[in-house]
Amino acid sequence: MLQHALTPLRESSQSPGTERTLAILELLGQHRLGLNLSEIARDLDLPINTVSRIATTLQQCGYLQRREDDKRFVLTHKLFDLTRPHVREKSLVLCALDALKWLRDSTGETTQLLAHANHKVTILEQCVSSQPIKVSSTIGLQVPMFSCAPGKAILSALPQPELDTYFASVTLKSYTPNTLATRPALESDLLKSRQRGYAIELAEGLEGIHCIAAPILDDYAWPVAAITVMAPAFRLKRDRHSELGQACAHAAQTITQRLLA
C-alpha cells in the first residue's frame, strides 16, 4: 500500500472524506500516466465505490480527467493554475507571454518562464524553438535552483539574509561535472550574475544543455520569477552569452513593466 507515503488515512479523522480526496490527488501526482479505479482503490486500501464517487466528483470539478482509451484518471493542470503567481492581481504568465514569444523568435531558442518555491524553480510556461534540434521541458517540472540558470538568476537577486537562509536549508550536490556544488563556488557565480544582470548555466543540471536567464522583479525589487533561454550546448556557446543575456534582461524588464503598469 502507498497510503503511508501520502496523506495518512486515519480512522479517527474528523474529515475522512477530505483525507481520502487528498490521498487520491497525491497518489495520482506520483503516477503521471494515470491509474484506474481498481488501482487507486488497491493502493489506498479503499472501497472501489468510495474511490469512484470521489474521482467522479474531482473529474466534474475539473481536477481530474478520465482518458477514453484506458479509463485511467490523470491530474489536470487546475491545481497548478490555482497556485500560479500573481503580482498586483495580474497573472505573471499572461504578462510574460508576449515577452516569451519575442525572446524565442529573436534568439531562435526555447524560452521558459519559471517561478520559485521551496528552494526549487517551477516551469510555468514555455515557447519551444523551431530549430530541428531543440530542447524543451514539461510545464510544472521542478528543478533545484542552484543547478539551473533561472534559479541562479533568482538567487542572485535575493537580499543576503534570504540567501543565507537558502544555503542553510539546502544540500548542494553535483548533477554533472559542471555543477557548482559548493557554497563558495556558487556565491562567486551569483556575484557575477548580479553584476551583469543575467545568469549563465553551462550543463550544470543536465549534460549537453546550456541556459541563460534574467530575474523578473516586482516593485520591491524582489525576484518573483525568471525568464530563460535554453539550447543545446553546441549552439549556445560563449560568443552568444552577452547577446542572449542582454535579450533575457530586456525581456525580464518588459515583463516587470507589464506587471507594474
pLDDT at 86: 52
Pairing of strands 90-91, 110-117: unpaired
Residue-level pLDDT at 1:
38
Per-residue pLDDT for the chain (261 aa), expressed as one digit of tens each?
A: 344 444 455 555 567 888 899 999 889 888 877 899 999 999 999 999 999 999 999 998 888 888 888 889 988 766 665 555 555 567 888 889 999 999 999 999 999 999 988 889 999 999 999 999 999 998 888 999 999 999 999 999 999 989 999 999 999 999 999 999 999 999 999 999 999 999 999 999 999 999 999 999 988 888 989 999 999 999 999 999 999 999 999 999 999 999 888
Query: What would you report as the CA-atom Rg of the chain, rounded to the nearest whole angstrom?
Result: 21
pLDDT of residue 70: 85
| CB within 8 Å of 108: residues ≥ 6 apart | 129, 130, 131
At 85 the pLDDT is: 55
Amino acid identity of residue 256, one-letter, is T
| Structure confidence at residue 91 (pLDDT) | 81
**pTM as predicted:** 0.70
Of 85, 182, 114, nearest to 190 by C-alpha is 182
Q: How far apart are CA 223 and CA 226, in angstroms?
A: 7
pLDDT of residue 30: 81
Residue 3 is predicted with a pLDDT of 41
Q: Which domains does the chain have, with CATH numbers?
A: 3-80 (1.10.10.10), 84-260 (3.30.450.40)
Own/partner pairs, 36-40, CB within 8 angstroms, 24+ separation: 36/70, 36/71, 36/72, 36/73, 37/71, 37/73, 40/73
CA distance 186 to 90: 33
Residue type present at position 13: S
Can you read off the three cell numbers belonging to residue 73?
Answer: 484518471
pLDDT score recorded for residue 83: 54
